[in-house]
Amino acid sequence: MNKLRNAEQYGFTLLELLVVMVIIGLLAGYVGPKYFAQIGKSEVKTARAQIDALGKALDQYRLDTGHYPNTEQGMAALNAAPSDEAKWQGPYLQKAVPNDPWGKAYQYKYPGEHSEYDLWSWGKDGQPGGSDESADVVNWQ
């Protein structure tokens, strides 16, 4: 009889296990969406930081050559000298021009419509416009 009593003391009932699983499920349901919302915000912050860094490289290019690379040359001119640019002193980036945090190429236009040059990412959706994570990340705002 004593051995039977000890066995009962070490186990969990099905009800206790279900209560623990419900608590874990509630916590995951509350914390999960907040966690994944932060991931989206960090991608937008990363895009803004990359646009700022690319803008500084473009400004250095302009200081050396007297103008920004044209739209056809694009940001590739930051890593490799254009054939018709004698004053090029680059490379202006240590690595190749990165893609945005969503894996798409940054858009560049010179002369720009909103500022001297326009540099932007279409955001998560890859389309113009959008809101929240899908909003465009631009250098002119």
Residues 29-85 have pLDDT tens digits of 888 777 776 666 788 899 999 999 999 999 999 999 999 999 999 999 999 999 888
Contact yes or no for 46/101 (Cβ under 8 A)? yes
**How many whole angstroms separate alpha carbon 33 and alpha carbon 80?**
43
pLDDT in tens, 110-139: 999 999 999 999 988 888 888 877 889 999
Confidence of residue 8 (pLDDT cuts 50, 70, 90): low
pLDDT, residue 32, reads 78
Tell me what the mean pLDDT of segment 20-29 comes to. Answer: 90
**100-to-23, 58, 117, 119, 124 alpha-carbon distances in Å:** 38, 17, 18, 11, 9
